[in-house]
Amino acid sequence: MIVSKSDFVKSSSAVDQCPTDNRWDFAFIGRSNVGKSSLINMLCNRIALAKVSATPGKTQLINHFLINDKFYIVDLPGYGYAKVSKSVKEDFQKIIKSYILERESMACLFVLVDSRHEPQKIDLEFMQFLGENGIPFAIIFTKADKLTEKQLAESLERYRTRMLEEWEEMPQYFVTSSAHSVGRDEVLNYIDSVCKDLEDANV
Ligand code: GDP
């Protein structure tokens, strides 16, 4: 898919303020500093469409960017910085939870994880929550340029092994580097294919 147009549309502080024009949302979420703004900017071909933030977790807004006048890329607030709790599941900010559970036009939620890190409890519990609620999602491993090819393969294998303790199969995933423009076509083509499937399904 070629991104010929990307426009910031609005910031919403609640799901009922989000755009209501029936275009599909492709949303991006992850722990703060995972590289979400950089990834969105890479996908949209823009240097600073989404702010690359120096103050983690400050913004609690849902940001909609309209791509090719066709679908939205949605920048969700980061999770996992505010507090550590024994029941993390209950702790995802209200705004995230209500967006995920109530946004009917959300086609896919991309969960970003840093490819260098061991599987993190908060990410695993978050994906468990998505699974329990039947939310379509895919994993995006970020900052792949920070690892050698061998380290990256080991890290992905470690993640897969951990996921398979709870999941029947490894969810759809992508490996990206915003610094080296890796994974851009794969993510955009996936978005394109999901859009086509949804159109074909006539929903
Ligand atoms: P956010 O808080 O999740 O939106 O993360 P940012 O996009 O603001 O990135 C956090 C930090 O990681 C910044 O210093 C970025 O320059 C850096 N970063 C993000 N993506 C990459 C990447 O693909 N490779 C490298 N080497 N650094 C990255």
Inter-residue contact 112 to 120 (CB < 8 Å): no
Question: Given this model, what pLDDT does residue 51 score?
Answer: 64
Inter-residue contact 44 to 3 (CB < 8 Å): yes
Ligand 1, CB cutoff 6 Å, lining residues: 30, 32-38, 52-53, 56, 78, 142-143, 145-146, 177-179
Is pLDDT above 90 for 143?
yes
Measured between its terminal Cα atoms, the distance across the chain in Å is 21
Sequential DSSP letters for 106-150: EEEEEEEEETTSPPPHHHHHHHHHHHHTT--EEEEEE-GGGS-HH
Using one digit for the tens of pLDDT, what is the confidence trace for 79-104? 865 554 544 444 567 889 999 999 99
Sequence-separated (6 or more) residues with CB below 8 Å from residue 196 = none
User: How far is 146 from 162, CA to CA, in rounded Å?
Assistant: 21
0.85 surpassed by pTM? yes
Residue nearest to atom 22 of ligand 1 (CA): 143
Inter-residue contact 39 to 112 (CB < 8 Å): yes
User: How far is 181 from 189, CA to CA, in rounded Å?
Assistant: 15
Using one digit for the tens of pLDDT, what is the confidence trace for 14-35? 999 999 998 999 999 999 889 9
